[in-house]
Chain A
């Protein structure tokens, strides 16, 4: 007797299943990885989502929980495995694996522990998706993006760090709040290290093209009576603050990664502050990754915007580069 399936459905084409065209893999199903996953799913950005992690049960539980929401989503295939074969043919791979900051700990402290994790995962990613673009999120993101680039053998335009995309989003939110406008209407860039030495480019901050530094030449300095500098400080302190309050951050970083994913998957050529290889720019002589405004599309970082920075801002970028190189040069087996 034929089954319900046989009675109900007559196949027209017995071709093998189509390979995915916009597959995204998220490595690491902790709070950040899952926030990236749900943001990408709710923005309808991929036709297949793969999750990888080492913790088998948790990985399966997260996959099932997302699959149970399939009725409400437009991503028809959600898969997961501890074996990287499940990630094959990804266009984009988001790496959130590794250890995270404890309360009060700086991102740079995590570095050697996370380098060791990456040595096992990056070659696997490349093996199964040799043409992918990698977005590194794990901290310290600038150092780990460098590490990923070295371990992957990919050209530099295909390895991106989530960098200061989040810092800039926080900056725009906090500045916009003070001005009573929406974050998307405030233009301001935070560049350099995603961390304590990030650089707010005050000279470029503007609303509707009106340059804020022209309105207040002291903006961002200690002499500023309005103390706008405090807003950048709040950005730097943000992560520590949220970690102190709830133990970790995830929503904002998840949303910012979905934002980058959209530009890449949809070939949009939007400009985002992300971590890229900056050797030979701004007098930086070392192979470090720092955030600069990058044009992102399906090839990855197609170009970098040449900023008009003040001498002080260039000096800060160089300081960031030195700090990061100071750490990178001591890394083992990269």
Chain B
């Protein structure tokens, strides 16, 4: 007797299923990975989402929970496996795997533990998606983006660190709050290290083109009566604060990763502050990754915007670079 499927549907075409065109893989199904996944799904950026992790049960549970929401989504294929073959043919791979900061711990402290994890996962990613763009999120992101670049053998424009995209979003939120406007209407960039030594480019901060430093030449300095530098300090402290309160951060980083993913997948040429290879720029001679404003499109980092920075800002970048190179030079087997 014919099944319901046979009675209901008459196939017109019996070929192999179409390959995905906009596949995204998220490596790591912790709080950050799943926030990235749900933000990417709700922004309808991908036709196939793959999840990978080492924890088999948790991975399967997360996959099922997302699949159960399929009715409300436009991503028809959600897969997961501990085996990286499930990630094949990805355009974008978001790496959130690794250990996270404990309360009070700095990001740099995580480095050697996460390098060891990356030595295992990066070659597997590239094996199955040799043409992908990798977005590294795990901390310390600048060092780990360097590590990923070295381990992957990919050209530098295809390896991006989520970098200060989140710091800048927090900065724009906090500054905009003080001015009573929406964050998207406040222009301000935080560059350099995603961490304690990030650089707020006060000389560029503006609303509708009106430069804030022109309105207040002391902005960002210790002499500033309005103490605007406090806002940048709040950005640096943000992650520690949220971790202290709820144990981790995930929503903001997830939304910021979806934002980067959108520019890459939709070939938009939008500019984002992300971590890229800055050797040769601003007098930096070491092979380090730091955040600069990058034009992102379907090929990855298409170009880098040349900032007009003050001498002080340049030397802050150079200091970040030295701090990072100090750590990188001692890493084993990279």
Chain A residues in the interface with B (C-beta under 8 A): 1, 3-5, 7-9, 34-35, 38-39, 42-43, 57-58, 60-62, 64-73, 76, 166, 169-170, 172-173, 176, 178-184, 207, 210, 212, 215-216, 219, 225-226, 228, 238, 241-247, 249-252, 254-256, 258-259
Contact = CB atoms under 8 A, between A and B. Distances in A.
A268 to B, nearest CB: 14
Per DSSP, chain A at the interface is: helix
Given A42-B43, A73-B255, A251 B169 contact: no
B242 A242 contact: no
Interface of B: 1, 3-5, 7-9, 34-35, 38-39, 42-43, 57-58, 60-62, 64-73, 76, 166, 169-170, 172-173, 176, 178-184, 207, 210, 212, 215-216, 219, 225-226, 228, 238, 241-247, 249-252, 254-256, 258-259
B5 A68 contact: no
Given A61-B241, A61-B246, A169-B70, 10 more contacts: A4-B179, A8-B210, A57-B245, A61-B247, A68-B249, A70-B169, A72-B255, A76-B182, A216-B7, A244-B61
Contacts of B35: 38
A4 B71 contact: no
Leading 6 A-B pairs by shortest Cβ distance: A246-B61, A61-B246, A61-B245, A245-B61, A252-B68, A68-B252
Nearest to A228: B4
Contact of A67 (B173, B184, B245): B173
Contacts of B238: 64, 68
22 contacts: A4-B212, A8-B215, A42-B43, A57-B244, A57-B245, A64-B241, A65-B242, A67-B252, A69-B251, A70-B173, A70-B183, A71-B184, A72-B259, A173-B68, A207-B8, A212-B4, A245-B61, A245-B64, A247-B58, A251-B68, A252-B65, A256-B69
Given A38-B38, A61-B242, A71-B183, A4 B66 contact: no
A163 B134 CA distance: 41
B72 A255 contact: yes
A182 B72 CA distance: 10
A238 B246 contact: no
B246 A9 contact: no
Nearest to A168: B71
B180 A9 contact: yes
A313 B215 CA distance: 72
A215 B38 CA distance: 37
A170 to B, nearest CB: 5
Contact of B57 (A182, A246, A255): A246
A63 to B, nearest CB: 9
Contacts of A38: 35, 38-39, 42, 251
A67 to B, nearest CB: 6
Contacts of B182: 70, 76
B180 A252 contact: no
Contacts of A243: 61
A169 B72 contact: yes
B226 to A, nearest CB: 6
Given A42-B42, A215-B4, A246-B62, A69 B216 contact: no
B4 A183 contact: no
A56 B174 CA distance: 22
Nearest to A212: B4
B179 A9 contact: yes
A58 B246 contact: yes
Contacts of A39: 38, 42
Contacts of A7: 215-216
- Among B67, B241, B247: residue with most chain A CB under 10 A: B67
Contacts of A246: 57-58, 60-62, 65
B173 A57 contact: no
A149 B111 CA distance: 53
B212 A8 contact: yes
Given A173-B68, A238-B68, A68 B169 contact: yes
Contacts of B179: 4-5, 8-9
A251 B256 CA distance: 19
A226 B5 CA distance: 10
Given A3-B226, A8-B210, A242 B1 contact: no
Contacts of A170: 68
Contacts of B76: 182
Given A8-B212, A42-B43, A251-B66, A178 B207 contact: no
